Chains A and B, each alone.
Chain A
């Protein structure tokens, strides 16, 4: 579980996050949603420590990340896996080497053990053997995201973070990525936080949803609650998509049989 208390962040006097307090639960896919520029990427990067916060506390289970020294943070980071928007795979390494990288850096496993783990992770994200030796520039955007997920789970981290995992992907590939993340979260019983503005992902895998608007935690709930919300800002965000307006209207006024 990851808990955030009264988090504040501003850049050059401009407040980006205001008094965010929330909890992200273990074994669930926790989604941070909001318009572009609402502060969700800053929130995600603050949680993982890529951005230093001005005020507040971030707890990884019972460990206060905010008070940790550099060495302690470094150690905790080995428990984190992160999938970046563009994949952030290392260009100079092959698909296989990318996944093996964290194992090389942080384990004393034998070459055989590492290879076994790499094969398992790549297999888990449906990357076939013939793609193992390719470089990131030779694979598609969807495959890059899947390799990034494989790399993120290589060390079996208890915390998984995904920044816009579906951006730039077609709806079918997006669904594959969503299912993968959901499956991994459930199977490994990890705390997953996904940053997205894709409503399809919200409705598919949103166990817990945090809606950020103008830097504030505007609403929290589940994918079921979201369709019945009275929050005007959230309504504007969710029902900008006609498909969800129709679902809401149909649920409010069911058609007679």
Chain B
């Protein structure tokens, strides 16, 4: 019952979100602010995580390919495909659900309990659309860029760590990341990142927007938002992999 209640209310909220904005100029201004705070401000953490992720995958692949019959360029290839197919889209999506999702849920939750959302409603502004729509557009717009950035820095991470520990030479690693490249893998993951971006923006927005109570409830809404977003990302990962691969 609870699942149906939340699903119904989630789609009702989306109905309010995707309604005609009161003033486009203000929405566009707000969109750029959201792109900066939710997207650009996430670049640093994406770069750091991706470098380490790429380095660690390279080490793991190298460890599992310790066989004289297997060429070492496979280490680069393994790192590339792992990053492109899963890590830079799904794992990054899960991490962003924590960073961006908790930010959105706690911001909207705080606005709800301090009556700022009621205040917008009284003014005749559609608060769902005004507050949530720019966040959705910003996150969905930024996620593919963050994905590409993550793949790039993941590959750099492998290039730094692989030769540094003597697992693979830089030349072989670079050969590996260029070997049998399948563009569809990238398209597939870009599509996934769009879906994940939508989930990361809307699910936390739903939990934050409907907070009732005080600071404690804002905290627990933020936690529920991250947990539910993570679960839905994994569900969508499974479904999209089956549909698109």
- Chain A interfacial positions (CB closer than 8 Å to B): 48, 50, 74-78, 80-82, 84-86, 88-91, 101-102, 104-106, 161
- Chain B interfacial positions (CB closer than 8 Å to A): 22-23, 26, 110-111, 114-116, 118-119, 121-126
In the complex, which residues of chain A have a beta carbon less than 8 angstroms from the beta carbon of B116? 88-91
| Chain A binding surface SS class | mixed
What is the minimal beta-carbon distance from B124 to any residue of chain A, in angstroms? Answer: 4
A77-B123, A80-B124, A106-B123 known; 4 other A-B pairs, CB under 8 Å? A74-B124, A88-B116, A101-B123, A105-B125
State in angstroms the CA–CA spacing of A86 and B113 once bound together. Answer: 10
> Do A86 and B121 have beta carbons less than 8 Å apart?
no
In the complex, which residues of chain A have a beta carbon less than 8 angstroms from the beta carbon of B115? 84-86, 88
Q: Given A88-B116, A90-B116, A91-B116, check contact A50 B22 (CB 8 Å).
A: no
> Do B126 and A77 have beta carbons less than 8 Å apart?
no
State in angstroms the CA–CA spacing of A84 and B111 once bound together. Answer: 13
In the complex, which residues of chain A have a beta carbon less than 8 angstroms from the beta carbon of B122? 48, 50, 77, 80-82, 161
Q: A102 touches which one: B111, B114, B121, B123 (CB < 8 A)?
A: B123
Residue of A nearest to B123 (CB): A102
The 21 listed contacts between A and B (C-beta, < 8 Å) are A50-B122, A74-B124, A77-B123, A78-B124, A82-B122, A84-B119, A85-B115, A88-B115, A88-B116, A88-B118, A88-B119, A89-B116, A91-B110, A91-B114, A102-B123, A104-B23, A104-B26, A105-B23, A105-B123, A105-B124, A105-B125
> Do B124 and A84 have beta carbons less than 8 Å apart?
no
Q: Given A50-B121, A77-B121, A105-B23, check contact A88 B114 (CB 8 Å).
A: yes
In the complex, which residues of chain B have a beta carbon less than 8 angstroms from the beta carbon of A101? 123
Residue of B nearest to A78 (CB): B124
